[in-house]
Amino acid sequence: MILLAFDTAQGALSAAVSDGGDLHVVHFEERTRGHAEALMPLVDCVLKEAGIGFADLDALAVTVGPGTFTGLRVGLAAARGLALARSLPLVGVTTLEAIAEPAGAAADEITIATFDARRDEIYMQAFANDLEALTPPLLPGLGEAEAHLPQGNLLLVGTGAPLLAERLEKGVRSFRLSPARPQPDAAALLRIARSRIEAQGLDAFRVAPEPLYIRAPDAKLPGGRDPGEAA
């Protein structure tokens, strides 16, 4: 099964392609803007390096958030367009799952995936070693975050990890910081998507995933309307 995955939702841009479980090509770069212009050239690049064309793809995977409004829409729109054009299944993976998967938790650790959401808030979610969600995706204030953490040894990963660590250092919680990348990587998307397809089958992903918005977008249309509000 040839699978293409890409991410534009947070502060990076990445794309990866695999065949039969082998990671053929992965490109990752930190990027806070310009995702729309750079995404498709990057996708073309990884496909060419792998010797694969769009016609060879069996499935797609994309991050669905939480993330920046613009970046998230860029990735989802591109993934939905490709899925529709080629009649491909499309697996949605949250950005929190994507950074939790490669975090490297020990057997007795709970992974806390977290992003800096600004405004003294963080996106966060707790995961077991098998990536089972122990909490829903949350957006607490930094002063309230510890109250949402499960009991146990914690592994913090993501751009919000240093912020959360500062709070935990004042208490008695046992934790450490993961050395893994704090941004989503398409290589992790591939592994997660492949596992879900193997468990549920391709037909379980024929309906395009919806974006995961925990916070309403900051951007406003003329008249003060939200971008997602009906005209």
Predicted confidence pLDDT, tens digits, the chain (231 residues):
999 999 999 999 999 999 976 778 999 999 999 999 999 999 999 999 999 999 999 999 999 999 999 999 999 999 999 999 999 999 999 999 999 999 999 999 999 999 999 999 999 999 999 999 999 999 999 999 999 999 999 999 999 999 999 999 876 679 999 999 999 999 999 999 999 999 999 999 999 999 999 886 554 444 544 443 322
Contact between 15 and 27 (Cβ < 8 Å): yes
Instruction: Read off the amino acid at residue 67.
Output: G
Q: Mind listing the domains of the chain with CATH numbers? A: 2-95+183-205 (3.30.420.40), 103-177 (3.30.420.40)
Q: How many CB atoms lie within 10 A of CB 113?
A: 30
Model pTM score: 0.91
Structure tokens belonging to residue 5: 């995955």
Give the dihedral sign, CA 96/98/99/105.
Answer: positive
